[in-house]
Amino acid sequence: MMESYIKPNLWLIFLLYGGIVLILPTYRVWKQTGVNPLTFGNTDSAHDYAGRVFKVLMGLLLGTILVYCFTDWYGWLTPIRWLERPMFGITGIALVTLSLLWIMLAQHHMRQSWRIGIDDAHPAPLVTTGIFAYSRNPVFLGMLVGIGGLFLVLPNAVTLGLLGVGYVIMQLQVRLEEEFLERQYGDAYRAYKTRTRRWF
């Protein structure tokens, strides 16, 4: 029952998710401030390397979904059959939905401080209230939960690998951003770190 609904619609769910958490807030900040929130470039820095890995990660997630929805090649992705149960699939959909709502709330609290990456050129106010009083990195946390949910919906070797790579690259990016924020905001950010956890 669930598979007959999810299979033809999972690609659309993925695109809507991406539009809501990436495209819409990016466009909103750009229209309101004239600042492009997309800060990843093409240099050989750790920051820009992480950005390229993020793009590949998203592309592979979409590719996996398209293979599942529109081809007979899904078996080549090494499905983990013992996880292909309605209970896990429903849990996965719930986690994806929860992560979407969580990220939307975090972006609402960030307002014009929303950035994708590190923005040295356009300083923005440090956000420490709302959902940021409970997690210093709620957007990354939401992304991890979302990828974990997708893995439960489509349990296979590729989504498992992407979950692992996503976790590692987000850990790297979080630390790069924390170093930047400490340089940018000094004691205010150090005080924030002492009272708020990195994840939750």
Reported as a single tens digit per residue, the pLDDT across 34-58 is: 999 999 999 999 999 999 999 999 9
CATH number of the structural domain 2-195: 1.20.120.1630
- What are the structural domain ranges in the chain? 2-195
| Cα–Cα separations (whole angstroms), residue 178 to 102, 158, 182 | 21, 30, 6
pLDDT at 123: 83
pTM: 0.92
Shortest CA distance to 158 belongs to which of 82, 72, 67? 67
Reported as a single tens digit per residue, the pLDDT across 178-189 is: 999 999 999 999
**Element holding 195 (H helix, E strand):** helix 187-195
Tokens representing residue 37 in the block: 């929130």
